[in-house]
Structure 1
Amino acid sequence: MKVFILGATGFIGLPAAEAFVRAGHIVYGTSRSEKTAAEKLGPREILPVVVDVFSEEGKKKWGKIAAKCDVVIDALSANGAKPAVDTFHNFLDYLDRPKGSPKPTYIYTSGLWIMTRGYGGLEKWTDERQPTTTYNESVQWRPLIEGPVLDSEKVHGIVIRGAVVYGRDGSGIGSYIFDEALKASKTEEKIFETIYKEDTRIASIHTDDMADLYLRVAERGPICRGQIFLASNQFSERLTDILDAVVRVSGCKGYRHKRPQGSSQEAWTSTTLAKPSLGDALTGWKPKKMSLVDGMDIYWSAYLANKKLQKL
């Protein structure tokens, strides 16, 4: 297959692109800069498309290339419904295939917080087949793009809702926890501030396991069309257990509570109980990486190594 990945240099997009390359597919990936493309894409056998994805010139450039591909994956950073919808419509505008031709697959990367139900009780658990909720204000725009992708007659539309993604340079785990712990480890007090609640449990997934789900779903596009897949481990982890593990590996002595500011940070502390099922049932997908708590020595070491690379 020919695969086009929007956001191919990102925390989610790059591992996904690498997974497709390893599987033998031809992979195109977008980057905003020649330097990043040269460092991250070309050496990994990913064909760089250097564009501003949202500019008129950029839309024209990547739209023409993507229209000739079998799979398009939107792994761009979440900036609200409008840019995501515009990105999808730009692809459709350039899509012009003879009648009866196979449809391309379009995968939109969504998030798990749209399914948050809160903590406790069997009725609070959910999977891909449950409706979205209004619990988290910061993600209420998600269905506005998920719906058009899933309902389109021009593509095999698929949505992958990612849990809290970890591994490599850390992503949300990095910015909310690792960065703070690293700064505190260099102080005399060695106490870091972070946002948490005592009863918060999070659903999580390693970026490589999420990449494997993209690959499996994309290769089965006609079968998986119209479905929402949860990219999540089969278990949740207590946020304070994660913080305790960070204290153990970072050299810090402890942590203190910091009040969340805004709906996005409130979402970070909201418990998400979600059990994936369709990934396994339809593609045989099973996450393989260790949990955050069990693999913290590895993930902290990888985070530090990536911080050093970023300074080079």
Structure 2
Amino acid sequence: MCIIAIKPAHHKMIDNSIIETMFENNPDGAGYMYAYNNRVHIEKGFMTLKELLKSLENLKKKIDIDEIPLILHFRISTSGKTDGATCHPFPVTSDLSALRKTHIITTLGMAHNGIISDFEEKKSIYSDTQLFINKCVSYLYDMNPKFLHDDRTKKLLEPIINGSRLAFLNSHGNIYRIGDWIENDGVYYSNEGYIPWQSRYYHYNDAYYSKYYYGDDYYYYGDEDQELKILEKLEAYEEITNSEDICYIRTMYDIVEETENTEIYDVVGMFVKVDPVASRAIRLEGVD
């Protein structure tokens, strides 16, 4: 699902506890961008919370972080590689090598929350966001460097991004948001993934499943249509290969066991195995 957090200029930095929550909910890497000295600085590829917090602390020693606009992104992988180079944000450019740089200075940066299915390519190292920038946004920028000031830009992009949220930051410190956002204490979030988890504990009496420990389950107001669609697939023991559905499972339900290439979730009382490498999920047969 991912989450973007936008801290405007002249606003206190986001609290570390909120940053920790966003990272825990979206653990496939993080990054941030900020505007300073008429340039956009992108730092990304933080695959642990410790790395991210250390980088932010180092930034605080160099500049007054409260005074600059800063955009954070926390990733759940749905396409492309799960590595530092595929973390957001990205420079707006058609140069694919630049889109994989973890440290870069540019004039316009972009972060994305959602899935743009028209730009997903199977087995590609590039994510849908990188290819969307490479094939679409960069050309809008080349044709008109002020395209974000044009009201027609939103009308053009909204049908393409299909409910996604986009955040742009330019070298002058201007922030542009496309999509629906949540404002909380002056900070804009692309979804509710910044809300702390509420602890609940469960266990099964069955000897085999008693080893599964149910930990944290966070607040979520679900998409009932999507949930029904997933449950119908699971009841029929059908494999789920749609990346959006897999992302939904990984984001919205309790994880009960995790190994190197397998995650097991409790989807309303049904155990579901997710294989991140093969990008598929299936109900575990024989389990109620």
Scaled by the length of structure 1, what TM-score is found?
0.23
Higher percent of residues as strand: 2
More helix by share: 1
TM-score computed with the length of structure 2 as normaliser: 0.24
